[in-house]
Structure 1
């Protein structure tokens, strides 16, 4: 690898690390941010609106892919790179400066949502540019290895955000971090500091990118006068290109996205929200698995240069789909063994007139449940208590039996906790539940080490499907529409199918009463990608991306 090639990878990777760091900050701090900007509502509604604002960033990513992909094909990769990182960096910095709802009223949440959408738009243009820029600099036969370095950036960005947040929380104390730490101009809360610190990363990233040259493939195309005058209509308005976009989306990206979000996000959500592992412990365990598994991106990217992109990505999807159930069951048994025994031995039955029991599917958390059947089942799901629904004759009042004891439906939310503990579910301070006090203390805890091993397996699945994906997408499309055409399927797959996975999977859990039922979402889409990819996706590793036209 030459010095110039190292600079190309460094410039692309550093900028993308920064972008992912910014994006993850909000997701990690969503509950705290909800209290600051949606304080006009009750706590549960605050959290819902905060998560909806987070989802807005995912939903606009494909539009960012269209806007900046077109710009990248019209005026160049380097210029577009600079625009996306500036928008992302300034938007993130401004989140740290936003006054709260108590200070400026409704202007606060409106401004927050606007900034989140700007972040999503910028991220929609960033990844495609980084992948195309590196791939078009890479030597023949090494594109998988070179672009795999970009794939590590999402993990590194997540780790960086976790490190900054955990360090500040421990050093400041939780109260100061959330509300009390004084800054300036009436702003308070240590949670703002990670957003404000991002301006340093922005300065470094912009400086490095200013030193870079345009990609050789784009320069060659421009010199020959063969660049597209209308990349959007050429990429999506012509069936010969449009069908390739669809095949890339359904036969590669959707499966990659659900495996990626399951291994890095849903696993964290599962530990915290279902297994009730505390915030510090869950983040430390995930962080160790990411550190141990991240080298897999480079390994699988390099391997794809030798055996092909298709077998590695599709193989990762298939293995993940086959093994998710036993892996999450092992995670439950290890992280919270008392709970694992309880869901198998403690029988909870909701008996109700079927006419009073509706669907609990609520992926965005905005529905209101009023019937006793729905309210009790919703409460059981939120507390991760496994239950069965038994039909009763019409007009029969709803009853709930926990381990042989009837629990009154009136004030059910208050009564179910003590009743479930009495029946065998763990108390909040159950000593059998995994707990670590710091980052390195996890290495001396056998229970934590086993969990790290399980999580690392899932991270390796992530690296298998994600390591070669950039090279595969770049090779799918000709230079004249490459930035536009590859960015859209990537961000639809990862922004919509992947980004909405945690909320949708938890909604499935809530609607069924089965803590593992949410896994059917990633398993179904991973298997769909395996079948479509096997039948329709061509192998692309030997394509000459300078001359390829479809």
Structure 2
């Protein structure tokens, strides 16, 4: 049982964590500045259509993720996890550079909308593959129980990147400092481009994930011993025959969970603050910055807790606490509508959001090594694309007809499927442990 890190392992964790921070800083800059930047790169319109536009701009981040999952999944499974991590960091730097110097809609018309949408698609594709690669890299390089908090640390640094993006965005959109008509926000994207290039260069010094490297060497040795040329398709189809259909479905449902929660916390509540409480774009960005701080601290606590408590138990507790809190949101908002009430429920939702953290290493281990990157990346990409599209556009109409209660049209069915999926993996782990106990040398 591994309980301490070597110097080389500490260095790897540092590079992966810093790289993930840079990726999510770049990705989240636009998401949290969308209320301002949509007016720069898209035509101005009425509030309802603006909400639809906001939904589209948000969803565009996830449109290329399934294609990215296939491309980077192939690279990650047959060349290496490390290469994916380096490539995706460079992609983020290039897209941030493009956004920095992209003219506005007023200057070049629909071309600005098309280019910014393509940049958002590429960023979503790259960030998803990068974080997945980092988590799988750690899962395959460390053993439980140390594995759980280390993988959770990657998510913590993604939250740090989000908070930094909000902090930088809040500063550069501050009307008291810069006024209402300026383009200083471009400096934030230029900063993202620079740190992205630095991160990509630093990660080239990483070694390959040990479990993946060992598996690949073993298979190549078997091919060599039998005088057979190395064939990736043969490896995929003959040497990793583990049945994962039901496991894939369960993992898909788990990946569906975080999307509507994230959308509620940062996008839906931002629309409430803007349309119902008349807050400015800069005020909302500043407001969400403090929500992200609470989110980050909650993730840090989860990372610590996962070293003491079995991660599946943590997931079940978070699920119950999330709905126990959020059920009161419509009631309180009808009686006491205010920024502080919205902030309170955003923080509760951020602390108890139901997702895969900190149990993701458990889920990864139930997929074959040589298909692990492709399977988990593609399932996550499809789940997030589907749920973000349904949530983004669904909530626009659900809240139009049901008010604040409209959030449950999405959250309740997604939550039910999530809970069933977590129970499925809990049973898988129980069966696996029982099998090892029966077949252990001491038994």
Cα offset for 1:502? 4.2
Q: Distance in 1 between matches of 2:93 and 2:208?
A: 22
Tell me the residue number matched to 1:70.
74
CA distance in 2, matches of 1:455, 1:12: 29
> What's the CA shift string for 1:35-88, capped at 9, x where partnerless?
33334x646657744642431221222221221011100100111111111112
CA distance in 2, matches of 1:466, 1:523: 17
Shift of the alpha carbon at 1:280? 4.5
Residue 222 in structure 1 maps to residue 216 in structure 2? yes
User: Residue 261 of structure 2: which of 256, 259, 262 is its match?
Assistant: 259
Q: Please, which of 101, 118, 124 is the counterpart of residue 122 of structure 2? A: 118
Match runs of 1:20-419 below 5 Å: 20-39=24-43, 42=45, 48-49=52-53, 51-170=55-174, 172-177=177-182, 189-225=183-219, 229-230=232-233, 240-250=243-253, 252-327=254-329, 329-330=331-332, 333=335, 337=336, 340=337
What's the secondary structure of 1:140's corresponding residue? Answer: coil
2:397 corresponds to: 507
Residues 116-169 of structure 1: CA distance to partner in whole angstroms, max 9, x if unpaired? 222222123212101111222223321111001111133222211111111122
The answer to whether the 8 A contact 2:52-2:393 is kept is: no
Residue 18 (structure 1) aligns with: 22
Change (3 A) 1:266 1:308: farther
**Cα offset for 1:277?**
4.1
Q: CA deviation at 1:220?
A: 0.6
Change (3 A) 1:279 1:469: farther
Q: What SS does the aligned partner of 2:68 have?
A: helix
Given candidates 346, 355, 369, the residue that maps to 1:455 is 346
- Among residues 477, 483, 496, which one is paired with 2:386 in the alignment? 496
Query: TM-score, normalized by length of structure 1?
Result: 0.68
Provide closer, same or farther for how the CA distance between residues 10 and 301 of structure 1 changes in structure 2, counting only shifts above 3 A. same
> Alpha-carbon deviations, 1:496-517, whole Å to 9, x = none?
31465344223201133x2222
**Separation in 2 of the partners of 1:268 and 1:3?**
43
Provide closer, same or farther for how the CA distance between residues 523 and 117 of structure 1 changes in structure 2, counting only shifts above 3 A: same
TM-aligned CA distance change 1:202 to 1:535, over 3 Å: closer
2:440 is matched with: none
Q: Tell whether 2:373 aligns with 1:486.
A: no
* Cα shift at 1:260: 4.0
- Structure 1: tracts of 5 or more residues without a match: 178-188, 341-432, 435-447
Residues 295 and 106 of structure 1: CA distance in aligned 2, closer, same or farther (over 3 Å): closer
| Aligned partner (choices 518, 521, 535) of residue 410 of structure 2 | 521
Q: Indicate the larger mover: 14-23 or 252-261.
A: 252-261
Partners of 1:257 and 1:24 lie apart in 2 by: 14
Secondary structure of the 2:103 match is coil
For 1:310 and 1:140, how far apart are their aligned partners in 2?
13
Q: 1:298 to 1:270 in 2, by over 3 A?
A: same
For residue 439 of structure 2, what is the aligned residue in structure 1?
A: none
1:211 is displaced (CA, Å) by 2.0
Q: Please, what TM-score do these two structures have when normalized by structure 2?
A: 0.82
Conservation of the 8 A alpha-carbon contact between 2:32 and 2:285? no
SS of corresponding position for 1:511: helix
Larger Rg: 1
Alpha-carbon separation, structure 2, partners of 1:468 and 1:490: 16
Structure 1's 36 and 270: CA in aligned 2 closer, same or farther, altered over 3 A? closer
Matched residue of 1:213: which SS? coil
Q: CA deviation at 1:536?
A: 5.9
Q: What is the CA RMSD across the aligned residues, in angstroms? A: 3.3
8 Å Cα contact 1:148-1:297 kept in structure 2:
yes
In the other structure, the counterpart of 1:471 is 361
Higher helix residue share: 2
SS of the residue 2:124 aligns to: helix
